[in-house]
C-alpha cells in the first residue's frame, strides 16, 4: 500500500505524476486557500507533505499530526518550520538549498538595478502618458557600477550577489555576517568584513540576505534606517520581518533613504498599505527564485526528499536527523 502524502499548493504536473508513482497523493492543484485549522486537519490525514514557505509546521500543527513522518519544503528558507519541534515529533524536515542560489542572486541584482535606476517608477510615468520631452534630471537615480554594496548575510546567495557586484559591476563589496568568511572566500568575492554599523553608514546599496529568525526580526528598523546615507537604497530578498515595513515606509516618504526594492514583506501576501503609496519603492511578489528551470529544480528536489525519506529512511537535504 502506498503512503499518503499531501502537496500543499499547486505544483508542476510532471512532479505530481512522479510523486503519484510512489505515493497516494492529495494535491491542491485547485489552489484552495488554507486556514491554519483546515491545513492542520488536512495534514493530519497524511504521513508526508510537500510544503511551501507559507505552510506552517509548528508545535501546534504537529500536535494534531501524530502519524506525520516527513515534510519537504520547496524553499531554501524554512521559517515556516519549527525544526526542534519536528525533531521532537520524529518528523524529518528538509528544504531545497543550492538549486536556487544563482537565480536568487540574479534577482537580487535585478531588484537593485530597478531600484537604483528607477525603472518601474519611470515605466509607470511613461504608461500614464506623462512623458513629453527629454530632461537632464528625469528619473536620474543612483550609480550602480563602481559604488559600494553592503551585503548583510553572507551565505550562498549573499556570496552570489558579491561575485556579481565585484566581478560584473566593479563594485566595492563590504559585508556583515554572524561569522566571517574564510580568507579564500573573501578573496573570491573581493569582500571586506565590516561591522553592521559601518556597513549601514558606508554602503550605497544595502542588500539583505539573512535568514529569518526571532534574532533577525527587524534587523532593519527606524534606528538602522537613520544610519544609512540619504542617497542609499535598501534591497530585501530575504524574508519579510527582517525589515520593519512601517518604519521603512516613513523613511522612504521622508527621503531618509533614496529608495527600496522589496521582494518579501511582513505578513505577506499582505503589503503594508503605506508602502503601496510611496513612489520610491519597487515591489515584487516573492519571486526571487522564480525562473522556470529553478522552480522545476526546487520542486524535483522537494519530491526527491520525500521519495528518499520513504524509500531510504533519509531525505537528501535534511534539516534534522
Q: Which of 24, 188, 198, 268 is catalytic?
A: 268
End-to-end CA distance of the chain: 26
Contact status: 151 vs ligand DGY (CB under 6 A): no
Is 73 or 92 the residue whose CB approaches ligand DGY more closely? 73
Residues 6+ apart with CB under 8 A from 138: 122
Smallest distance from ligand DGY to CB 152, Å: 16
Closest residue to ligand DGY: CB criterion: 77
Confirm if 154 and 175 have CB atoms less than 8 A apart.
Answer: yes
C-alpha grid cell for residue 27? 494535491
Active site residue 268: yes
Strand segments (E) across 97-152: 148-152
H helix or E strand, kind and range, residue 92: strand 92-94
Contact status: 100 vs ligand DGY (CB under 6 A): yes
Active site residue 239: yes
Identify the residue whose cell numbers are 508526508: 48
Contact status: 150 vs ligand DGY (CB under 6 A): no
The CA distance from 48 to 71, in Å, is 6
Contact status: 76 vs ligand DGY (CB under 6 A): yes
Contact status: 289 vs ligand DGY (CB under 6 A): yes
Is 77 or 150 the residue whose CB approaches ligand DGY more closely? 77
> If DSSP codes are grouped into helix, strand and coil, which group holds residue 117?
coil
Confirm if 201 and 183 have CB atoms less than 8 A apart.
Answer: no
Contact status: 160 vs ligand DGY (CB under 6 A): no
Stretch near ligand DGY under the rule CB under 6 A, chosen from 72-80, 125-133, 143-151, 308-316: 72-80
Smallest distance from ligand DGY to CB 289, Å: 5
Q: Contacts with ligand DGY in 15-54 (CB under 6 A)?
A: 53
Active site residue 188: no
Which of these, 21, 76, 26, lies nearest to 46 by C-alpha position? 26
Residues that bind ligand DGY (CB under 6 A): 53, 75-77, 100, 289
Active site positions, annotated = 239, 268, 286
Amino acid at each position: 500500500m502506498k503512503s499518503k502524502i499531501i502537496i500543499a499548493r499547486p505544483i508542476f504536473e510532471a512532479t505530481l505524476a512522479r510523486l503519484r508513482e510512489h505515493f497516494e497523493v492529495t494535491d491542491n492543484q485547485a489552489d484552495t486557500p488554507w486556514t491554519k485549522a483546515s491545513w492542520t486537519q488536512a495534514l493530519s490525514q497524511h504521513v508526508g507533505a510537500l510544503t511551501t514557505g507559507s505552510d506552517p509546521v509548528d508545535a501546534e500543527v504537529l500536535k494534531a499530526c501524530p502519524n506525520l513522518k516527513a515534510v519537504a519544503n520547496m524553499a531554501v528558507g524554512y521559517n515556516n518550520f519549527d525544526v526542534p519541534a519536528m525533531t521532537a515529533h520524529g518528523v524529518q524536515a528538509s528544504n531545497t538549498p543550492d538549486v536556487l542560489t544563482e537565480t536568487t542572486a540574479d534577482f537580487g541584482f535585478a531588484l537593485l538595478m530597478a531600484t537604483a535606476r528607477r525603472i518601474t517608477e519611470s515605466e509607470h510615468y511613461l504608461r500614464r502618458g506623462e512623458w513629453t520631452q527629454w530632461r537632464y534630471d528625469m528619473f536620474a537615480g543612483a550609480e550602480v557600477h563602481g559604488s559600494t554594496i553592503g551585503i548583510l548575510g553572507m551565505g550562498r546567495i549573499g556570496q552570489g550577489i558579491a561575485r556579481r557586484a565585484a566581478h560584473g559591476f566593479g563594485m566595492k563589496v563590504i559585508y556583515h555576517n554572524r561569522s566571517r568568511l574564510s580568507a579564500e572566500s573573501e578573496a573570491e568575492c573581493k569582500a571586506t568584513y565590516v561591522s553592521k554599523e559601518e556597513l549601514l553608514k558606508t554602503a550605497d546599496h544595502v542588500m539583505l540576505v539573512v535568514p529569518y529568525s526571532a534574532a533577525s526580526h527587524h534587523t532593519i528598523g527606524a534606528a538602522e534606517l537613520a544610519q544609512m546615507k540619504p542617497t542609499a537604497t535598501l534591497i530585501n530578498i530575504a524574508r519579510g520581518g527582517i525589515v520593519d515595513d512601517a518604519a521603512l515606509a516613513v523613511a522612504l516618504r521622508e527621503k531618509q533613504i533614496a529608495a527600496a526594492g522589496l521582494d518579501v514583506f511582513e505578513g505577506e501576501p499582505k503589503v503594508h498599505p503605506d508602502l503601496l503609496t510611496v513612489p520610491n519603492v519597487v515591489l515584487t511578489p516573492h519571486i526571487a527564485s522564480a525562473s522556470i528551470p529553478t522552480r522545476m529544480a526546487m520542486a524535483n528536489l522537494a519530491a526527491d526528499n520525500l521519495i528518499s525519506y520513504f524509500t531510504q529512511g533519509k531525505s537528501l537535504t535534511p534539516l534534522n536527523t
